[in-house]
């Protein structure tokens, strides 16, 4: 039995479709060049960096006490943040799904889940320092503590937990909603107490999901660069150590080897999450809830849980609000009145704010549509078509999800500063806006692709087949059927890509050259110098931009989205 003929025919049919072939070739080239190659060069560099193939670079870095300390630090923080975030997320999700909440608390929850999406990654570090630091509003002025030190381990843990737990909350909320209430009712009916139902039914069903949330947060925490940078003080994590190794010690081979170590850790976690837990989650929670859940009315459960979550949510929101308010005080920690706009003025008059916003804005605005389109094309190819190389495209775009920004940044430095494989070829793009745009694209591509894939899986395959059968070529099928049907997903991908790009820092900070001023890099610089007011002013304007674009997206989807026409008649 030989499948040679069908393979040959499939190939011929594909070749008869030049647009499709070009797209696939370009995609594979793009993914290879900008995701695989930078990672490959890191490997190469860390083995041959000190001349000749050897483990000498690895031996060298593992002898550095600050590097080995950074590994333990990173894992410790990641582990604790992972546990705290998934517990907090579980609590919030449980309260939302199982308790009847009043509108106010529900609103707080919504805001909490939204904030980390629209704000730059290190906003909470800023407000943590401003509220609880040595000159902190709460520590110094409310509690009279003058020497509170927020820098270091606990600072990072608190800030990362508060930043990442909303992700767990959203993940677990979706899972809880999918648990069929009759399972729990059956247990309750047989005489189990409420706590017993939770411990014996809900929790076991949810366990793979909690594990999943834990690992996702763990990876995020390990990859996080900005928070440890600002609030870590002398407590270095892998991401900051790599950054310092390259910007401070100029040890590029060492940084490359460290990046490889960081990459191996995240890839390992990612593999477990992707191939073990995700499958388990899907296996235990199939299907939709058959009907609405009887909400818990018991006051002894409801009141303490609701109050706890409401206070927690309010606290998180307060921390975010602290940033715009901090930008209004004349001098943070010393002079609070009268409120002033002088920092906002200084952003533009003294600190070239206009250029920073323009550069960030323009680069992100170019990157966003390319990212959105690219991720939709990848999703289309992965879900709807079969061809050789499809596995490659899917794997590499998923792989990018597990690559920390710092690793990618170092990879780009090593990979492009002296051209491909240090030969000078293509070195022209290094230091240009183009490479920044490419980094933006690569960093947002996995999220967009994932949402595109799940949107496309909802669409019956035969809809596209029928268009194809009627005589449409691949391009026509994609533009006249696929894209209109996932317009909403495309639009939200567009905005997500824009927001992610404009708030990105970890890879960018390694690659940006003086000819480009980026907001996030500016904020990071001011925060490190202790110029919190000006950092807050920058951050506030950035939040306004990102929040504005999210609002705009929601408006557009509501009024011009595809599903409107389709949904309104149902």
Partner 1 sequence: MSDMRKKEPKGVRLDHISKIYQNPKTGQDFYAVHDVELDIEPGSFVTLLGPSGCGKTTTLRMIAGFESPDEGEIYLGGEPINQLTPNKRDTAMVFQSYALFPHYNVFDNVAYGLRLRKVPKDEIRERVTNILKLVELSDMEQRMTNQLSGGQQQRVALARALVVEPGVLLFDEPLSNLDAKLRVQMRTEIRRIQQALGITAIYVTHDQSEAMAISDNIILMKGGVIAQMGSPTEIYYHPNSEFVADFIGECNFLKCTVKGHEGGDAVAEVDGRPVRVRCDKPGITGNAEIVLRPEAIGIADEGQLPCKVELSCFMGSYQNYHVRVGDTLVKIADNCPIGKKTFQVGDDAYISFRSECAHLLET
Q: Which residues bind partner 1 (CB under 8 A)?
A: 1-7, 9-10, 12-13, 16-17, 460, 462-463, 465-473, 476, 480-481, 484-485, 562, 565-566, 569-570
Q: Shortest distance, CB of residue 464 to partner 1, whole angstroms?
A: 8
Q: Shortest distance, CB of residue 261 to partner 1, whole angstroms?
A: 37
Q: Shortest distance, CB of residue 556 to partner 1, whole angstroms?
A: 16
Residues in the chain: 570
Instruction: Output the six-digit token pair for 303.
Output: 């009141």
Instruction: Output the six-digit token pair for 202.
Output: 């809900």
Q: Shortest distance, CB of residue 385 to partner 1, whole angstroms?
A: 11
Contacts 24+ apart (CB under 8 A), 218-221: 218/78, 218/79, 218/81, 218/82, 218/269, 219/78, 219/266, 219/269, 219/270, 219/273, 219/402, 220/160, 220/164, 220/167, 221/77, 221/78, 221/81, 221/82, 221/160, 221/164
Q: Which is nearer to partner 1, 123 or 491 (CB)?
A: 491
Q: How far is CA 426 from CA 435, 450, 513, in A?
A: 11, 30, 17
Backbone angles phi, psi at 390, to 5 degrees: -65, -40
Q: Shortest distance, CB of residue 5 to partner 1, whole angstroms?
A: 5
Q: Which is nearer to partner 1, 382 or 485 (CB)?
A: 485
Q: Which is nearer to partner 1, 139 or 489 (CB)?
A: 489
Q: Which is nearer to partner 1, 4 or 190 (CB)?
A: 4
Q: Shortest distance, CB of residue 482 to partner 1, whole angstroms?
A: 11
- At residue 490, the 3 state secondary structure works out as helix
Q: Shortest distance, CB of residue 16 to partner 1, whole angstroms?
A: 6
Query: Computed over its alpha carbons, how large is the radius of gyration of the chain?
Result: 25
- At residue 421, the 3 state secondary structure works out as helix
Q: Which is nearer to partner 1, 45 or 464 (CB)?
A: 464
Collect all residues with Cβ–Cβ distance below 8 Å to 195 and sequence separation of at least 6: none
Q: How far is CA 390 from CA 281, 386, 403, in A?
A: 25, 7, 20
Q: Shortest distance, CB of residue 443 to partner 1, whole angstroms?
A: 31
Burial class (CB in 10 A: 0-12, 13-18, 19+), 69: middle
Q: Which is nearer to partner 1, 8 or 145 (CB)?
A: 8
Q: Which is nearer to partner 1, 6 or 65 (CB)?
A: 6
Q: 154 preceded by cis ω (within 30°)?
A: no
């Amino acid at each position: 039995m030989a499948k040679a003929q069908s393979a040959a025919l499939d190939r011929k049919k594909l070749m008869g479709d030049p647009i499709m072939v070009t797209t696939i070739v370009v995609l594979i080239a793009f993914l290879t060049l900008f995701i695989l190659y930078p990672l490959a060069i890191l490997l190469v560099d860390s083995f041959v960096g000190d001349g000749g193939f050897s483990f000498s670079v690895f031996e060298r870095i593992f002898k550095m006490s600050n590097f080995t300390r950074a590994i333990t630090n990173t894992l410790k923080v990641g582990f604790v943040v992972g546990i705290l975030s998934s517990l907090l997320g579980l609590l919030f999700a449980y309260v939302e799904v199982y308790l009847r909440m009043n509108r106010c608390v529900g609103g707080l929850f919504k805001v909490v889940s939204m904030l980390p999406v629209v704000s730059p990654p290190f906003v909470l570090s800023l407000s943590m320092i401003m509220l609880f630091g040595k000159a902190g509003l709460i520590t110094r002025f409310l509690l009279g503590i003058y020497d509170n030190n927020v820098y270091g381990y606990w600072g990072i843990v608190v800030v990362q937990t508060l930043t990442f737990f909303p992700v767990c909350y959203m993940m677990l909320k979706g899972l809880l909603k999918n648990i069929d209430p009759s399972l729990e009712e059956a247990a309750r009916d047989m005489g189990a107490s409420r706590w017993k139902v939770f411990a014996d039914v809900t929790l076991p069903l949810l366990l793979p999901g909690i594990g999943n949330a834990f690992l996702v947060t763990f990876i995020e925490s390990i990859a996080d660069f900005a928070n440890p940078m600002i609030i870590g003080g002398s407590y270095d994590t892998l991401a900051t150590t790599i950054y310092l190794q390259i910007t401070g010690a100029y040890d590029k081979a060492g940084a490359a080897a460290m990046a490889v170590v960081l990459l191996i850790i995240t890839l390992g976690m990612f593999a477990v999450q992707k191939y073990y837990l995700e499958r388990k989650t899907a296996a235990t929670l199939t299907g939709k809830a058959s009907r609405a859940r009887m909400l818990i009315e018991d006051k002894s459960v409801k009141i303490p849980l609701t109050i706890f979550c409401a206070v927690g949510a309010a606290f998180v929101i307060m921390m975010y609000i602290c940033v715009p308010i901090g930008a209004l005080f004349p001098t943070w920690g010393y002079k609070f009145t009268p409120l002033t706009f002088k920092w906002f003025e200084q952003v533009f008059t003294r600190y070239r704010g206009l250029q920073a916003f323009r550069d960030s804005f323009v680069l992100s605005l170019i990157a966003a549509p390319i990212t959105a389109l690219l991720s939709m094309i990848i999703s289309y190819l992965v879900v709807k078509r079969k061809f050789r190389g499809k596995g490659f495209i899917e794997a590499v775009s998923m792989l990018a999800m597990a690559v920390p920004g710092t690793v990618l940044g170092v990879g780009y430095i090593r990979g492009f500063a002296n051209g491909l494989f240090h030969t000078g070829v293509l070195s022209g793009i290094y230091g240009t806006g183009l490479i920044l745009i490419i980094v933006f694209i690569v960093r947002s591509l996995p999220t967009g692709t994932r949402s595109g894939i799940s949107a496309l899986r909802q669409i019956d395959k035969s809809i596209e087949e029928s268009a194809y059968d009627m005589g449409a070529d691949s391009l026509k099928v994609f533009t006249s059927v696929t894209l209109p049907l996932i317009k909403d997903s495309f639009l939200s991908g567009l905005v997500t890509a824009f927001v992610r790009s404009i708030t990105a820092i970890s890879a960018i900070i390694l690659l940006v050259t003086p000819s480009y001023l980026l907001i996030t890099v500016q904020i990071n610089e001011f925060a490190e110098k202790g110029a919190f007011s000006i950092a807050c002013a920058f951050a506030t304007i950035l939040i306004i931009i990102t929040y504005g674009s999210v609002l705009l997206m929601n408006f557009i989807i509501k009024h011009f989205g595809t599903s409107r026409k389709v949904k309104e008649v149902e």
